[in-house]
Amino acid sequence: MKQEGKNIFQRLQSGEAVSFTEQKYQEIGEAAAQTTKLLLELNATADVDKVRLKWGEITGQPLDSTSTIQIPVHVNIGRFTRIGKNVYINHLCSMLDMGTITIGDNVLIGPKVNIITEEHPVNPAERKALLVRPVVIGNGAWIGAGATILPGVTVGENAVVAAGAVVNKDVPANTVVGGIPAKVLKYLP
């Protein structure tokens, strides 16, 4: 059911499926195009301070001076991503953030990590619609190289997601998960 008075992003974040055929769907493409322009500038500089400034333009929130994003990086909208303090994001991280991505403090994100908040209904008759669910990465978490975090997942504090894992359900705090789909491999002290 459409929620009158809300923009397309508010409708998505409130749990509404939005069809590709909707007239207002173009607002997503327009926002993504603006972000792409800014990302081209961000990804063209090796100066960490300039990366922080450009990231602030993309997200509307400055990147803390204790956090680092290695280029290239990709985010489709940007304004729905929040990054804490003392965060390190390695090369080739890709974030689809319309459902909101929240990254806590002291987080390590390896190269080629995918953080995805967007999905489509499984039913073929409804598949040309977009659904979103938030992703939260807790303080002190470490996401290994090539891992994929899927929509709706919360990675608990101090948890480790092994390289190459596909995480489709919440990760308890102080655990190591790995595999496809990711499962708890051990508990941390």
DSSP line for 130-145: EEE--EEE-TT-EE-T
Does residue 39 carry a pLDDT above 90? Answer: yes
Task: For the chain, give the percent of residues with pLDDT over 70.
Answer: 98
For the chain, which residues make up each domain, given as ranges?
A: 8-184
Give yes or no for a contact between 177 and 148, defined as CB atoms under 8 angstroms apart: no
pLDDT tens-digit map of 154-166: 999 999 999 999 9
Fold category of 8-184 in CATH:
UDP N-Acetylglucosamine Acyltransferase; domain 1 (2.160.10)
* Identity of the residue numbered 85: K
Average per-residue pLDDT for the chain? 95
pTM above 0.85, yes or no: yes
Does residue 3 carry a pLDDT above 80? Answer: no
* Identity of the residue numbered 45: T
- What pLDDT score does 136 carry? 98
Q: Which residues are catalytic?
A: 120
Residue range 43-68: mean pLDDT, rounded: 94
